[in-house]
């Protein structure tokens, strides 16, 4: 016999805010959507509703209610945490739970009697565990999802619909309980169908002819029939390997060996589940003197492509730790992976000159170990006229996969070898034109020059800039670009 | 859409006609060199080769030994930057050579360019310190049996007999618009010559070129 439990947290966004800030318990709270003009109320606690606050009200209108309300902006992270806590309350009691929406969880309640007693006892236990998680949940138990939800909505705390009584309990319930689409809701309104009982009484064949399978499904739900199995929610897998040490390590090589062990175990687990990781995090707990609190150093890196290759992970980790070794002996270490599923793809037949993702990840990791993270990537030009402004992005496996044409539009462009950073220069002027340059070892008379070419930007910010550029030719034939920002001359680069 | 005639470069400018034969000149699985003094056009040639390769859909890597590469200039030359892996070795030439070796050995890049040209303000034509013959033999072996064209760009010939092809770039007169007082730098003329080729018994004759020589004007 099928039994479904529904855990329902009314006014969920407000409940999540109260859960995150214990001082709000029992106080009139409204949650605002700051992205909308007027900062509208999108959720209100029961205490605020008792003061006459309604959804859609502006912040000013809500605060004008007698007694006053407390306003908080919506924090999605609080809601995610609260939803996770609610799902975990369900999972503690049943191996199968389904996430039904914000503040709403179904669980398979069949066969739990031997563990938790009869259904009211199970419901009380669920309510208590939710309270322990600082969530004011209501619990409904019935033979179908719709009936369990109805029971949870109508009760103040817990309600159980006896087996076989779903249809009778559902009859007077409003049809909106079925989460109808807008079109379906309008159609039922036109027909004058307002309760589930009225929908259940419609001739099934005629309903199917007019509304198709969706109509038949809705009617079955209205009759308390719920054949669809629960869509089980699984907690996100935690890929973490840690090592506590009995002795403190003050040498990098043994530390690398232990990290390698962790990386191999972690990558083995990822590979076994056909997963890869697109982010790795590591941390080391450092030994402390007596009386001091142990410190922890940590870091994270993103491989160029999701990987489960321990060698590639260790190449980056070695480079990172070798560049900045721990300042004290290490007493514990942790390596975590953020798993992603990488769809299988076939190598293109004309794939000459393109590395496989695995080779790419490994090679890039080794090069990072040589030059350091942040010194390798695909250059991306930023939307500014400021010279030399760019950022580096990780090379993705899809790079170079045939974009671009055949090169018909190539131009022979004179390249500038940039000085990074631009070198301070001493420039002598005659008649406003540069005639002699001295910048580090580059010095000599200027035999030809053209300019100034002015560029400027961000004049509306504190970081405004202006630059007058000159192209110059030295007597030895060197072509360079100078820039003058109003006070200082800089050598921006050499044309080559 | 028609392009206004005034916006087109004069005939003989750039690499339009010569790029294909230049690409063919650099052998796969071998080490090649582009050598030339400061302001001779070597970096412009490298940029053009990268642009040609990326525009054709290949993945290329540039190991920048002096952190002087200008991506905006490469984009202006037609390069697809998404296909360019830029390695900034921060003036550590040994790390740059090791990085180029790893990239070439992977065989996944159509072109790997190791730019060992001196820093723009460093004394010209100085031999990079710490790079012995073993470095070039290692690089040559890394590229062997791969489809990668490994190109070293430097101020002078460094790789000795490890280089299968050496392309020398010489400076020609820059072109200034306006006389007697220049109003704008228009471009730079370069002469390129294959001075050593182990793969061609007769060096390729470029269109518009003579023997194994090219005359190119890079425009600003």
The 8 Å CB, 24+ separation contacts for A57-62 are A57/A30, A59/A30, A59/A32, A62/A30
Paired tokens of A69: 């309300």
**Any residues with CB less than 8 A from the CB of B102 and at least 6 apart, and which?**
A363, A366, A367, A370, B142
- A430 touching B, CB under 8 A? no
How far out from the chain centre does Cα B72 lie?
A: 16
- Asked if the C-beta of A405 comes within 8 angstroms of chain B's C-beta atoms, the answer is yes
Q: What is the mean pLDDT of residues A407-419?
A: 76
Residue from the list B44, B89, B171 with its beta carbon closest to the beta carbon of A477: B171
* Residue in A356, A398, A415, A471 to test binding to B, most B beta-carbons within 10 Å: A415
User: Which residue is associated with the tokens 């023997």?
Assistant: B211
Find the CB nearest A353 among B42, B46, B109: B109
**Residue A425, pLDDT above cutoff 50:** yes
E-state strands within A143-238 = 158-160
B89 part of contact set with chain A, CB < 8 Å:
yes
- Cα distances (angstroms) measured from residue A401 to each of A158, A348, B56: 59, 9, 10
The candidate with the shortest Cα–Cα distance to B133, out of B157, B168, B167, is B157
pLDDT in tens, A348-398: 555 454 666 667 777 887 888 788 878 888 999 988 888 778 888 877 655
State residue A426's pLDDT score. Answer: 93
Q: Which residues in chain A have Cβ-Cβ distances shorter than 8 Å to B67? A: 418, 420
Q: What confidence score (pLDDT) does residue A276 get?
A: 86
Report the residue from B70, B96, B187 with minimal CB separation from A418: B70
Asked whether A31 and A40 are in contact (CB, 8 A), the reply is no
Coil, strand or helix at B200: coil
Q: Are strands A489-495 and A479-484 parallel, antiparallel or unpaired?
A: antiparallel
Whole-number Cα distances in Å, A209 to A184, A213, B141, B186: 14, 9, 75, 77
Please report the pLDDT score of residue A374 as a whole number. 81
The SS3 of residue A189 is helix
**Residue A495 sits at the chain B interface (C-beta within 8 Å):** yes
Q: What was the pLDDT predicted at A370?
A: 83
pLDDT tens profile A270-313: 888 888 888 899 999 998 887 788 889 998 887 767 788 888 88
d(CA B167, CA B113): 14
3-state DSSP call for residue B22?
Answer: helix
Q: What pLDDT does residue A384 have?
A: 82
Residue A174 neighbours by CB under 8 Å, 6+ apart: A194, A195, A196
- Across the range A317-323, mean pLDDT stands at 83
pLDDT of residue A64: 87
Residue A407: is its pLDDT beyond 90? no
Enclosing H/E stretch for B133 = helix B133-143
Q: What is the pLDDT of residue B19?
A: 53
The residues with which A446 forms a beta bridge, in sequence order, are A474
pLDDT (tens digit, 9 = 90+) per residue, A216-273? 999 998 988 888 888 888 877 778 888 888 888 888 999 999 999 999 989 988 888 8
By the CB < 8 Å criterion, does A363 face chain B? yes
Q: Which residues contact residue A115 at a Cβ distance below 8 angstroms, ignoring those fewer than 6 apart?
A: A93
Among A439, A442, A450, beta carbon nearest to B183:
A450
pLDDT digits (tens, 9 = 90+) for A427-477: 999 988 999 999 888 889 999 999 898 988 888 888 888 899 999 999 988
Tokens at A203, concatenated? 């001739």
CA separation for the pair A36, A230 (Å, rounded): 36
Determine the Cα–Cα distance for residues A310 and A268; give it in Å rounded to an integer.
8
pLDDT (tens digit, 9 = 90+) per residue, A205-224?
999 999 999 999 999 989 88
DSSP-derived 3-state class of residue A377:
strand
Regions of chain B where pLDDT drops below 70 = 1-21, 123-130, 200-212
* Residue among B184, B185, B131 at smallest CA distance from B160: B131
Q: How many angstroms separate the first and last alpha carbons of chain A?
A: 82
Integer-rounded Cα radius of gyration of chain A: 33
pLDDT band of A485, cuts 50, 70, 90 = confident
Chain A with chain B: Cβ pairs closer than 8 A? 252
Check residue A67 and give left, alpha or beta (phi > 0: left; psi -120 to 50: alpha): left
Q: Are the CB atoms for A489 and A425 separated by under 8 Å?
A: yes
- SS3 state at B163: strand
State pLDDT tens for residues B65-122.
Answer: 989 999 999 998 888 998 999 999 887 888 999 999 999 998 889 999 999 987 777 7
E strands in chain B: 31-35, 60-64, 84-88, 111-115, 149-154, 163-177, 184-197, 213-219
Partner B, chain A 365-394, Cβ-Cβ below 8 Å: 366-367, 370-372, 375-381, 387-388, 390, 392
SS3 A65: coil
Bridge-based pairing of strands B111-115 and A158-160 is unpaired
Confidence check: pLDDT of A137 > 60: yes
Q: What is the pTM of this model?
A: 0.60
Six-digit token string for B217:
């004007």
Give the full edge-to-edge strand order of the sheet including A29-33. A40-44, A29-33, A70-73
pLDDT tens digit sequence for A9-28: 999 999 999 988 878 888 89
- pLDDT value of position B31: 94
Give me the residue from B73, B85, B184 closest to A413, CB to CB: B73
The three-class DSSP label of residue B181 is coil
Which helix (H) or strand (E) is A126 found in, with range?
helix A119-132
- Is pLDDT of A36 > 80? no
Region A107-136 average pLDDT: 91
Please determine, for residue A405, whether its predicted confidence score (pLDDT) is greater than 50: no
Q: In the prediction, which pLDDT does B6 show?
A: 39
Q: Compute the distance between CA of residue A176 and CA of residue A171 in angstroms, rounded to an integer.
A: 13
Among the listed residues B166, B164, B155, the one whose alpha carbon sits nearest the alpha carbon of residue B33: B166
Contact B121 A449 (CB under 8 A): no
The pLDDT, as a whole number, for residue B127 is 65
**What is the ipTM for the molecules in this complex?**
0.88
- Buried b or exposed e, range A321-352, using 16+ CB within 10 angstroms: beeeebebbbbbbbbbbbbeebeeeeeeeeee
- Who's near B88: CB < 8 A, 6+ residues apart? A371, A375, A376, B64, B67
């Amino acid at each position: 016999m099928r039994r479904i439990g529904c855990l329902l947290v009314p006014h969920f966004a407000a409940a999540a805010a109260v859960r995150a800030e214990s001082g709000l318990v029992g106080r009139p709270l409204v949650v605002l959507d700051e992205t909308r003009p007027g900062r509208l109320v999108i959720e209100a606690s029961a205490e605020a509703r008792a003061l006459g606050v309604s959804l859609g009200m502006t912040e000013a209108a809500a605060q004008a209610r007698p007694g006053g309300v407390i306003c908080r902006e919506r924090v999605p992270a609080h809601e995610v945490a609260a939803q996770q806590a609610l799902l975990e309350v369900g999972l503690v009691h049943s191996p199968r739970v389904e996430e039904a929406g914000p503040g709403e969880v179904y669980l398979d309640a069949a066969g739990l009697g031997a563990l938790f007693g009869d259904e009211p006892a199970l419901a009380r236990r669920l309510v208590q565990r939710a309270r322990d998680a600082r969530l004011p949940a209501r619990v409904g138990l019935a033979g179908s999802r719709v009936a369990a939800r109805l029971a949870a909505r109508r009760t103040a705390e817990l309600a159980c619909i006896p087996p076989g009584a779903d249809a009778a309990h559902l009859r007077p319930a409003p049809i909106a309980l079925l989460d109808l689409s807008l079109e379906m809701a309008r159609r039922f309104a036109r027909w004058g169908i307002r309760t589930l009982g009225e929908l259940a009484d419609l001739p099934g064949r005629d309903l199917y002819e007019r509304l198709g399978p969706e109509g038949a499904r809705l009617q079955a739900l209205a009759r308390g029939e719920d054949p669809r199995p629960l869509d089980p929610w699984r907690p996100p897998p935690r890929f973490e390997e840690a090592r506590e040490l009995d002795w403190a390590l003050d040498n990098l090589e043994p530390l690398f060996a232990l990290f390698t062990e962790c990386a191999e175990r972690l990558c083995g687990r990822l590979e076994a589940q056909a997963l890869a990781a697109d982010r790795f995090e590591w941390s080391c707990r450092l030994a402390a003197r007596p009386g001091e609190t142990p410190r922890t150093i940590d870091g994270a890196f993103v491989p160029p492509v999701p990987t489960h290759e321990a060698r590639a992970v260790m190449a980056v980790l070695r480079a990172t730790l070798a560049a900045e070794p721990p300042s004290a002996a290490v007493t514990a270490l942790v390596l975590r992976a953020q798993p992603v599923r990488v769809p299988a793809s076939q190598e293109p037949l004309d794939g000459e000159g393109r590395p496989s993702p695995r080779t790419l990840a490994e090679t890039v990791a080794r090069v990072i170990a040589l030059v350091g993270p942040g010194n390798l990537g695909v250059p991306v030009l930023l939307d500014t006229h400021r010279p030399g402004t760019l950022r580096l992005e990780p090379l993705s496996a899809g790079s170079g996969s045939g974009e671009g044409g055949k090169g018909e539009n190539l131009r022979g462009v004179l390249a500038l070898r940039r000085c990074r950073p631009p070198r301070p220069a001493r420039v002598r002027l005659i008649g406003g034109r540069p005639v002699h340059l001295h910048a580090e070892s580059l010095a000599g008379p200027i035999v030809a020059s053209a300019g100034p070419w002015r560029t400027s930007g961000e004049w509306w910010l504190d970081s405004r800039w202006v630059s007058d550029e000159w192209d110059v030719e030295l007597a030895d034939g060197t072509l360079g670009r100078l820039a003058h920002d109003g006070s200082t001359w800089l050598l921006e680069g050499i044309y080559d | 859409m028609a392009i206004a005639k005034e916006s087109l470069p004069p005939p003989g400018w750039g690499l339009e006609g010569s790029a294909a034969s230049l690409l063919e000149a650099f052998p796969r699985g071998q080490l090649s060199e582009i050598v030339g003094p400061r302001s001779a056009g070597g970096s412009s040639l490298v940029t053009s080769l990268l642009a040609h390769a990326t525009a054709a859909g290949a993945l290329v890597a540039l190991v920048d030994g002096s952190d002087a590469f200008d991506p905006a200039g490469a984009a202006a030359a037609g390069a697809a930057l998404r296909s360019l892996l830029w390695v900034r070795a921060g003036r550590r030439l040994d790390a740059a050579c090791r990085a180029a070796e790893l990239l070439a050995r992977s065989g996944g890049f159509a072109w790997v360019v190791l730019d060992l040209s001196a820093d723009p303000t460093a004394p010209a034509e100085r031999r990079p310190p710490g790079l012995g013959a073993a470095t070039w033999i290692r690089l040559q072996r890394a590229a062997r049996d791969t489809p990668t064209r490994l190109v070293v760009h430097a101020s002078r010939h460094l790789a000795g007999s490890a280089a299968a092809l050496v392309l020398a770039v010489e400076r020609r007169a820059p072109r200034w618009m306006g006389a007697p007082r220049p109003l704008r730098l228009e471009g730079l003329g370069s002469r390129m010559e294959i001075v050593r080729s182990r793969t061609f018994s007769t060096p390729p004759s470029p269109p518009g070129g003579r023997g194994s020589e090219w005359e190119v004007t890079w425009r600003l």
